[in-house]
Structure 1
Amino acid sequence: MDASCTTEIQTLERQWMQAWVDNDLATCAAILADDFLLASARGVLMPKDAWLANEGSVFKCTSFEWIELVVRPFGDVAVVHGRSRQQASVAEQDWSGVFLTTDVWVRRGNGWRVVARHGTGPLPG
């Protein structure tokens, strides 16, 4: 396993989710690839522009923590499996709890960008 790749992507995952909590759209936009696509836990496919448009308005997060974060590098692609806990809302409905996510990162040029996220949750009890 490429330890530097693992550390870099774990750091980027943490920066992305902290930017979500902080409503820092510039950081989110820089981390998301232009062809990013979310397969949400609510059953919606959402591209980057829609995700950014909803961040901080429809999507609000007040706390987020990674419970587990596993990076699996495959050359210029890495798959990340995570378990997280969040306090959040979607369209003013509580969306807090524990979630599973799978993210796909691609190395483009000098850096890594996330191209896909699939979320599952909130998980029961």
Structure 2
Amino acid sequence: MENITIENLEEKLRQAMLSSDVAVLDELIADDLVWTMHTGKVVNKQFDLEMHSSGIFRFTSLDISDRQIHFYGDCVVVTLKMDAAGIYNGQAFSENFRFTRVWVQRQNRWQIVAGHVSQVIPL
């Protein structure tokens, strides 16, 4: 049952990222989020929501593969590969990334508390 819940939340997150649905992103992301970008910059929830709400950043496609879900009680670690395309500051991009997301269950709800994204560089 837990696996289905996290898979559903992951899909809800993917759809919210695609549509820049800030209300859903706000619900799924913990207020104390710590996120490390592919550039090494560490950002918070406010930064993430502002990128979507301002229109500076917009995904046009997010194709997920190689998702693995690891349970540790009230904590779940999700790793996946994502082929992403979109617009950043008016410039189109299409890149491959690896994500690690840490979901924690608090007060009967799951939220992302930490994560990291790395760009996949072809060898």
**Percent of pairs identical after alignment?**
28
1:83 maps to: 81
SS of corresponding position for 1:27: helix
Structure 2 segments unaligned to the other structure (5+ residues): none
- What is the 5 A alignment of 1:1-125? 4-56=1-53, 57-124=55-122
Distance in 1 of aligned mates of 2:121 and 2:57: 19
Aligned-pair CA distance for 1:86:
1.1
- Pair 1:38–1:64, CA change in 2 (3 A): same
- Spell out, residue by residue over 1:54-76, the C-alpha distance to the aligned partner (whole angstroms, 9 max, x if none): 11522210111211211100000
Report the aligned-residue RMSD. Answer: 1.5
- Pair 1:93–1:37, CA change in 2 (3 A): farther
Give the TM-score normalised by structure 1.
0.89
SS of corresponding position for 2:39: coil
